[in-house]
Amino acid sequence: MTDPRDHLLSWLRDVHAAEEQAIKMLSSFARRIENYPELKARIEQHVTETQRQSERVRECLRRHGSDASTLKDTGTKLMGLGQGLSGIFTSDEIIKGVLASYTFEQMEIASYKILVAAARRLGDAETARVCEEILQEELAMAGWLESRFGELTGKFFDLEADESVTAKH
């Protein structure tokens, strides 16, 4: 039988790798945004939050005498780079990027909810606190994106109708 703390550490390494993937994916996406300044600013803000989140998760691992998985981090960074570049080839990159970002936020939200529950069950109040704080940031980002689906879609259509600019990004 696996020690429950081993599961907690494994899940922390998984979420750390996901944060590293998000940094690559969001940074790549933000660099290409031209005609959606509010979205660009919010994505860039979330990249900074995500960098802090990654470090905070790594600190939780270190408190347990562990560290992030280099293999997982490298693999997910490469996936994030690929995801970030995939929109280059679509005519609706901005919409696909928002969709991918929102979907990724939902996965992170679920991961942090599980981590909070696991840490509480194991009596690890500090990890539960850190994960709860990060969860709130992820919920805020997902909520921000969701509240702007209509606005961003409308702006995309407006820009598509204007041949002097690109709606793509």
E-strand stretches of 34-94 = none
Looking at residue 95, its pLDDT comes to 95
| Arch. (CATH architecture) of 4-161 | Up-down Bundle (1.20)
166 vs 137: CA distance, rounded Å: 31
Maximum mean pLDDT: which of 64-73, 77-86, 127-136: 127-136
pLDDT class of 168 with cuts at 50, 70, 90? low
The tens digit of pLDDT for each residue in 49-77 reads 999 999 999 999 999 999 875 544 454 54
Indicate the domain borders of the chain.
Answer: 4-161
Looking at residue 71, its pLDDT comes to 46
Q: What is the DSSP string of 42-99?
A: HHHHHHHHHHHHHHHHHHHHHHTT----HHHHHHHHHHHHHHHHHGGGSTTHHHHHHH
